[in-house]
Amino acid sequence: MKQVGIWMDKQEAKGVVLNNDKESFFNISSELDFFNPKGGARSKTKWGPQDVVQDRKYLEREKHQLKKYFEEIAEQVSDADEIVIFGPAETPDKFLDALKTRHSRVAEKVKKKETADSMTENQIKALVKESFGKSGRKQESR
């Protein structure tokens, strides 16, 4: 059984693949441009014209870049049997919505989605194992 856990934010997705007793790690960069538009500059005259920043242009570009990023992740996890998603803010929610609209078969494999702050690779591995009920140590039988 192939189980995949993904920790993601807007910059990158870090995934752990548990396949039988083997584990592997993958990393997908979003290549998302982080825009910091400058705007609202006034002219030198007291009631002169103002420059207007077109946020719509930046938001549309971000939307297309996120779509490409989500497609790469969906392609990476498409053959998994079970998937869990972790991450800060709304990126995991947006990813799950994208899966439901464009990859419904993959979305059905998502078992849970949780909020989690930034983590190291070892913390991600431990969280994924814990969410699939696999601990790092063997359980004692009584």
Q: What digits encode the pLDDT tens for the residues 51-81? A: 666 778 888 989 999 999 999 999 999 999 9
The answer to whether 131 touches 124, Cβ cutoff 8 Å, is no
- Residue 63 DSSP SS3: helix
Among candidate residues 17, 127, 123, 1, the one with its CA nearest the CA of residue 73: 17
Task: Tell me the pTM.
Answer: 0.80
**Cα–Cα distance list, 74 to 68, 100, 102 (Å):** 10, 11, 10
Helix (H) or strand (E) segment spanning residue 19: strand 12-19
pLDDT at 37: 58
How far apart CA 33 and CA 40 sit, in angstroms, is 21
Q: Domains for the chain: give ranges and CATH numbers.
A: 2-131 (3.30.420.60)
Give the integer Cα–Cα distance in Å for 25 and 117.
Answer: 19
* Tens digits of residue pLDDT in 82-116: 999 999 989 999 999 999 999 999 999 999 999 99
Q: Residue 103, Cβ neighbours under 10 Å: how many?
A: 18
Distance between CA atoms of 122 and 142, rounded to whole angstroms? 30
